[in-house]
């Protein structure tokens, strides 16, 4: 039976962009409330030790976030402008 879970800590996985070593830059815990109680999620942010690579990655990430935010705003505006048709 295959082992479930990470056999390798994320840190030991090389960067898929530049093959450099990566490191954990921060870890945090998120508590999510659900009808059955709490769910605890463990997050860790892994960064590339290659500074140029990491900077490039963050730039792309930021651009994507901005793009998504723009799309969301656009959608919101459209839904506001659209006349509401009510069936009596």
Write out the residues near Zn ion by the rule CB under 5 A: 15, 17-18, 20, 48, 50, 53
> Residue 58 or 77: which CB sits closer to Zn ion?
58
Question: At its nearest, how many Å lie between Zn ion and the CB of residue 51?
Answer: 9
- Cα 2 to Cα 77: distance, rounded to the nearest angstrom: 49
Question: At its nearest, how many Å lie between Zn ion and the CB of residue 57?
Answer: 7
> Residue 49 or 73: which CB sits closer to Zn ion?
49
- Cα 54 to Cα 10: distance, rounded to the nearest angstrom: 16
> Residue 10 or 77: which CB sits closer to Zn ion?
10
Residue 15: phi, psi to the nearest 5?
-60, 130
Pair 62, 38: CB distance under 8 Å: no
């Amino acid at each position: 039976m295959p082992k479930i879970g990470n056999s390798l800590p994320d840190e030991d996985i090389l960067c898929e962009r530049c093959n450099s070593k990566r490191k954990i830059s921060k870890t945090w815990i998120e508590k999510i409330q659900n009808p059955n109680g709490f769910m605890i999620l463990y997050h860790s942010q892994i960064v590339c030790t290659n500074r140029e690579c990491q900077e490039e990655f963050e730039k792309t990430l930021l651009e994507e976030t901005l793009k998504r935010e723009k799309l969301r705003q656009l959608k919101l505006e459209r839904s506001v402008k659209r006349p509401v048709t009510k069936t009596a």
